[in-house]
């Protein structure tokens, strides 16, 4: 099962494709989509959308997982980031992909085992889970991979629960 994890943003969209092979998660490709500051929002949104469609077409995920938005400090970025998240969800939906959504606390719980873990702890666990030499940069990329890993763990649990409920 190939999972695309996304950390939405307007300036930087982190993405990470992983393959779930049994109980292991294997990195396929990861990086970020960046847009230029001082560019009209509509151009930035189009760039994010088109880049995501190209990535989906190239790497053909089976599911997409998003980090739910949470704004505690910089509320002024809430609208542009929400718009970027919308075009990312649209790209996934148009390709017929199932979408999972996880709060930052859920992701931390799945990755570190503690919902209030520090960002550095999550990044280090992502590096260890995926057997990477270094922590992916920028932070948005590591966050996207964490969301993908969270979805991989959650999808396993959900499928087992569904099997039990069907019996």
Q: Does 139 show up as a binding residue in the annotation?
A: no
* Active-site position among 7, 42, 62, 139: 7
139 annotated active-site? no
Residue 39 parent element (H or E): none
* Calpha distance 56→59 (Å, rounded): 5
Answer whether 4's CB lies under 8 Å from 20's CB.
no
Query: Which residue is catalytic, options 42, 67, 118, 163?
Result: 67
43 is in an annotated binding site: no
Extract the tokens encoding 127.
Answer: 């590096």
7 is catalytic: yes
Q: How many Å separate Cα 95 from the centre of its chain?
A: 17
Contact status, residue 106 vs residue 67, Cβ threshold 8 Å:
no
Among candidate residues 62, 118, 140, 143, the one labeled active-site is: 140
* C-alpha closest to that of 130 among 54, 28, 61, 14: 28
- Binding-site residue numbers are 7, 67, 140
- Binding-site residue numbers for Mg(2+) are 7, 67, 140
Catalytic sites, residue numbers: 7, 67, 140
């Amino acid at each position: 099962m190939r999972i695309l994890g996304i950390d939405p943003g307007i300036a930087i969209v982190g993405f990470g494709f992983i393959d779930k092979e049994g109980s292991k998660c294997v990195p396929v490709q990861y990086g970020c989509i960046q847009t230029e500051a001082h560019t009209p929002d509509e151009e930035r949104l189009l760039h994010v959308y088109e880049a995501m469609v190209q990535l989906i077409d190239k790497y053909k995920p089976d599911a997409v997982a998003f980090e739910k938005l949470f704004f505690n400090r910089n509320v002024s970025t809430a609208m542009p980031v929400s718009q970027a998240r919308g075009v990312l969800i649209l790209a996934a939906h148009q390709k017929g992909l199932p979408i999972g959504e996880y709060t930052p606390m859920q992701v931390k719980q799945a990755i570190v085992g503690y919902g209030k873990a520090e960002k550095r702890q999550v990044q280090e666990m992502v590096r260890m889970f995926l057997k990477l030499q270094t922590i992916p940069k920028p932070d948005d990329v590591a966050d996207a991979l964490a969301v993908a890993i969270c979805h991989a763990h959650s999808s396993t649990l959900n499928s087992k629960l569904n099997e039990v409920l069907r019996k």
